Amino acid sequence: MLSVCATPIGNLEDVTLRVLRELGEADLVLCEDTRRTKILLERHGIDSKLLSYHEHNEAERTAQILPRLIGGERVALTSDAGLPGVSDPGARLIAAALEAASR
Amino acid sequence: MLSVCATPIGNLEDVTLRVLRELGEADLVLCEDTRRTKILLERHGIDSKLLSYHEHNEAERTAQILPRLIGGERVALTSDAGLPGVSDPGARLIAAALEAASR
C-alpha cells in the first residue's frame, strides 16, 4: 500500500488526521527532503523510518521500493510541502505502483 | 475573525488539525447543513454552537453575523463538504467580512 500524503505549506497544523495516521502506521516514509518531513513528524510525535525520494534518485528508489510495496509493506510518500506528484517528485513511483496493482 | 473551514468529503479523518482547532474555539459555527456538520463535530468531541447558513438565508444571516464579527466574536464557516465559497454558500459573508476589515 502506497499512501500519497499532502503535507503542510507554511503551517504545521495544516495536516489531516488521516495523513498523520498514515505517516505513523507506515513502514517507510519517502521524503523529498528528510529534514523538512522530520520537523513535521517530530511535531506530531511520529517516529516512522524516513528515506529520501527526490528528483535525483527517484528512478533508483522506485526500483528499490516497488518490491517492498508488492511484498505488503506500507509506504507513505511525501514532498517538501503540498501533494507529491503535482509539481514534486512522486509521479514515477505512483505510476509504477498503479501498474503493479493492475497486474 | 471569520475562519473559512474546509471539511471532509467522504472520510471524517480528512480534516486538518487547524480546522478542528478553529471549530472548537469558534463562538459560532455556520453550517450549510447543521446535521452534517454536527456529525463531524461530534466525531471529534467538539460542542461549539451551530447555526444554519445556506443559499436560502445567506443574505439575512450575513446581516446578522457581520456585527458579531466586527464585535470580536470568532465565527467558523463550513459547508456540507469541501471549502465554503468555492461551489457552496459563503462568498457573500466572506466578501462582507473582507469589506468590513478593510474599512
Beta strands, E only, chain A: 2-4, 28-31, 50-52, 75-77
Q: Chain A to chain B, count of Cβ pairs less than 8 Å apart?
A: 26
Per CB-CB distance under 8 Å, the chain B contacts of A14 are 16-18
pLDDT value of residue B42: 94
* pLDDT tens column, A39-90: 999 999 999 999 999 889 988 999 999 999 999 999 999 887 777 766 667 7
- Write the CA distances from B98 to A68, B21, B63, B93, B95, integer angstroms: 51, 22, 14, 9, 5
End-to-end CA distance of chain A: 15
- Mean pLDDT per 10-residue run, chain B (103 residues)? 88 92 96 92 95 90 92 90 71 82 81
Distance CA B88, CA B85 (A): 5
C-alpha dihedral, A57 to A59 to A61 to A64, nearest 10°: -150
So what's the pLDDT on residue B88? 67
Instruction: State pTM to two decimals.
Output: 0.81
CB A88 within 8 A of CB A2: no
What pLDDT score was predicted for residue A99? 85
Chain A residues touching residue B13 (CB < 8 angstroms): 16-18, 21
For A19, phi and psi rounded to 5 degrees? -65, -45
SS3 content of chain B, % helix, strand, coil (to 5): 45, 15, 40
B55 Cα to chain A: minimum distance (Å)? 28
Q: With the CA atoms of A89, A93, A94 and A98 taken in that order, what torsion angle do they form, in degrees rounded to the nearest 10?
A: 170
When computed from its CA atoms, the radius of gyration of chain B, rounded to whole angstroms, is 13
Q: Which residues, 6+ apart, have CB-to-CB distance to B26 below 8 Å? A: B3, B48, B74, B75, B76
pLDDT of residue B52: 94
Show which of residues 51-70 on chain B sit within 8 Å of chain A, judged by CB atoms.
none
Task: Output the pLDDT for position B82.
Answer: 74
Average pLDDT over residues A30-45: 93
